[in-house]
Each structure stands twice: as C-alpha cells, then as structure tokens.
Amino acid sequence: MTDNTEFLNMMKEIHDLLAPSLAEDWPELPVERAQGAYLYLADGRRILDFTSGIGVTNIGHNHPRVMEAARKQMEAMLHSAVGITIHQSLLELCHALIDVLPSGLDMFFFGNSGAEAVEGAIKMARYVTQRPGIIAFEGGFHGRTYGAASVTTVKAKYRDHYEPFVPGIYFAPYPYTYRCPFGTSPEAALEWTMYHIEKLFQHQILPHNVAAFLVEPVQGEGGYIVPPPDFLKALRQICDQHGILLILDEVQCGFGRTGQMFAAQTFGVKPDILAVAKSIASGFPLGATVASRDLMSQWKAGSHGTTFGGNPMSCAAGLATLQVMREENVLENCRQQGQRFLEGLQALQKKYSIIGEARGLGCMLAIEMIVPGSDKQPNPQAAMQTLNLCLDNGLLAYMAGTYGQVVRFIPPLIVSSTQIDEALAVLEKVLAQVSRR
C-alpha cells in the first residue's frame, strides 16, 4: 500500500465497524507487511514483534517455505470439506504430527481454532467416558465459544452476562506459586491444588463422575504461570487412579514454545487428549483435538463434525511449519534465546522493585508487575505503561494476568540473540521510566 493516509483513515474507520467486545487496550497497529520478527507499519515504523500474533507465528511472520507450500496447495485446491473430499496435505500433516507428538497420540479431529480444539476435547471426553464432569483450573483461558468459555475463569468479565454456562464444570485452583495463599514454594502450591481437588471429590463430585481434567501446562492468558514441575504428573496419577482423562490445552504453549515440541514433553507427562491450534500452521486457521486411536475410535460416526476444519492450505502450511521447525533447529534456538531473555528479565527484576517476578519456560516469558513495597499488590497501571513505552521504543509485547498485571513476551522461536538484547535494552530504559512515575 502506498497511500499511508488512506490506510491510517481506514484503521480509524475499522474501529467503528468492529464489535467493541473485541477491544481490550489493544494498540491496533496499522501493519503494511510483516517478515520474520518484524512488523512494518504504514507510518514507516519497524516494530520488533514479541507477541507473534498471540503465539501464532512461532517461526516468524511469512516464512517463505510456508508461503510457498500454501500457495502451491491453493492453486491445486482451495477448499475441501473433509470427508466429502480428502487431500494429500491432510494425510501428510497427520503423519508429520504423529512424528513429533507425545507417543501414542495418533488420531486427529481438525477444526479451525483453539476454542474448537477445546470444544472437541470436552465433547469427546464426555462422549467416550459417558461421564458428565469436567474439572478445569482457576485462571485458565480456553477460548470464547460457549463450551470453552464455560471452562474459562481468567477474568470474571469474560463470563459476565453469559450465564448459565455449560453445566457439569468444576474448578480447582491452579498452582500459582507466586501468589499461593498456602505458601510460595512449589511444594506448597502443589499441595494447595491437590487439597482442593480432594475437597471437590469429597463435597461436589465423585471421581467416577468426572470425565476429564482440562489444564494448560503453562497458564497463558492467566499470566504465563509455570506450575511446579510435578503438577502434571500428580494430575496424571489421579486420572489413572479413577479412570479420568487428562486433557492438556497446548493451544498457546504447544509447537515449541516451552522449548520442547509440546509442554507435555517438557513436563514428562502423556495426556489422553491434546488440544492444539495457534502456531500449528503459522497463521493459517487450524486447530486439532488429538488422542490415541484406542480412545478416539470410540467417538462414533456423526457425533462431531466440521465444514472448514483441516482445510488444504492450512494443512500444507502446517506441514511446512513442522519441516522448518525440524530443519532450522528451531527448538534449540528457542531454548537458548529463551534462557538468555529469562536471565535478562531476572537481572531487571533485581534492579527494579516494580517487577515482582520474572518467569517462564522456553520463549514463553513474563514479568509480573507489583506496587513496590506492597505485599505483591498487582500493578496493572505499570504493566500498561510498560507496554505503551515499549511500543514507543519499537518493541511490541502483550498483557496477561487476571488483573492485567503481567507483561508477557512471546517472541518468535527464530529470534536472534541481537533481537533479545535489543528487547532487553528497550525494557531497561522503559522500566527506569516507569519506576520513576
């Protein structure tokens, strides 16, 4: 686009055309094009994108191999309602996914988004177990459709005026070590969660009525909360004891974000059902509910379906994404750069008391902002100031946390050490300013 004024006016108009429900302090950047780790704006600015389109462009924006694969597929066939027609990209993607998924997960239902992947997981869990109960976790985010919103508790405003929700859903506290009322060691946080699960079983629902636990291995919208290392293993144990299914929502933390292909591998736990989406196809809409053949085969014909799920271009893009991840050593880079960034954030935390905690896994990193000198009082104002000032200095990061008190960084996994250092330098400058306010 050459006429920037026209583009900028269009952006203003869009504000009046789109549902206000979408708005949440977003910068609404007028992007002309995007490449790798950068966004190029209509006003000439170049922005280092540490949001990756909310965890989607893990191998960078517009990777040429993904573009080429999708283009080629588009020319051959644009749409396939899977079942009526089938296509090669779908078959190839299934095989490529089986190669990288936790072992034994080898059957797929493809949809178009994270919420659909979660819907599929919940529906399948109920269907195959013929049990009604789903236990999810406080502070979790699983999407905006009714089933997914019913298991979402990160912010009460996401639930406001939508009751009644899907019934049969129960909540336990997530082991949020930094804010656990029972003690701030990983052991105490784990004990706190297990205590509440036991209470649920005693007072509200017997284990034999529970179809599944649904959990984010690292809470995303909740504030990039890394649970104690044994949390998922403890859940796995309860599940095995009572015939309950373990659903991991890896919509945000999957596909390399935590340093392994899936967080299930990072934590050494095998889920019964996995929900994935976001970065699976580098920006083309695709999501999947994944399970073992044994389990998914019990989901009988006609009990769930889709028109667009597994569309040809998304599958071709997904396949190319996996090839890039393997051949360009993306996981190793994620671990290295993530470590570099985390160490930088921890150093900043020591220097600026406005940061309560610096945390994360792989390239899923955050700082939690507090009121200095308080007892960890959440500081959403400081988080917002930090985000705005970072943007003024060419770095795009994103908000998270129940109170909006967390600044999260979601760099592409192909990020370079120079870009990490650039981001840390911006942050250092910004935090000095925010701390003075």
**What are the distances in angstroms from CA 52 to CA 22, 61, 414?**
18, 8, 11
Which residues, numbered 281-340, are part of the site for ligand PLP (CB under 6 A)?
none
Which residues, numbered 222-251, are part of the site for ligand PLP (CB under 6 A)?
249, 251
Closer to ligand PLP by CB, 142 or 385: give it: 142
- Give the C-alpha separation, 159 to 148, whole Å: 11
Q: Confirm or reject binding of residue 221 to ligand PLP (CB under 6 A).
A: yes
Closer to ligand PLP by CB, 22 or 156: give it: 22
Which residues, numbered 173-192, are part of the site for ligand PLP (CB under 6 A)?
none
Q: What minimum distance in Å lies between the beta carbon of 203 and ligand PLP? A: 28
- Give the C-alpha separation, 419 to 399, whole Å: 20
Q: What minimum distance in Å lies between the beta carbon of 221 and ligand PLP? A: 6
Contact 410, 404 (CB under 8 A): no
Q: Confirm or reject binding of residue 114 to ligand PLP (CB under 6 A).
A: yes
Identify which range of 83-91, 109-117, 183-191, 336-344 contacts ligand PLP by CB under 6 A: 109-117
Contact 152, 222 (CB under 8 A): no
Q: Which residues of 368-383 are buried (b: 16+ CB within 10 A; e: fewer)?
A: bbbbeeeeeebbbebb
CA 327, distance to chain mean position in Å, is: 24
By beta-carbon distance, which residue lies closest to ligand PLP?
Answer: 114
Closer to ligand PLP by CB, 41 or 221: give it: 221
Answer for which of 134, 226, 277, 430 binds ligand PLP (CB under 6 A) is 277
Which residues, numbered 128-167, are part of the site for ligand PLP (CB under 6 A)?
141-143
Closer to ligand PLP by CB, 122 or 370: give it: 122
Tokens standing for 266?
A: 């990072």
- Give the C-alpha separation, 235 to 271, whole Å: 10
Tokens standing for 278?
A: 């976001």
Answer for which of 70, 101, 115, 248 binds ligand PLP (CB under 6 A) is 115
Tokens standing for 155?
A: 């912010």
E-strand spans in 138-200? Answer: 169-172
3-state percent helix, strand, coil for the chain, nearest multiple of 5: 45, 20, 40
Closer to ligand PLP by CB, 217 or 312: give it: 217
Q: Confirm or reject binding of residue 113 to ligand PLP (CB under 6 A).
A: yes
Q: Confirm or reject binding of residue 120 to ligand PLP (CB under 6 A).
A: no
Q: Give the CA count within 13 Å in the CB-facing half-sphere of 54.
A: 11
Q: What minimum distance in Å lies between the beta carbon of 354 and ligand PLP? A: 26
Task: Give the largest Cα separation in the chain, rounded.
Answer: 65
Answer for which of 36, 220, 271, 318 binds ligand PLP (CB under 6 A) is 220
Q: Which residues bind ligand PLP (CB under 6 A)?
A: 54, 113-115, 118, 141-143, 216, 220-221, 249, 251-252, 277
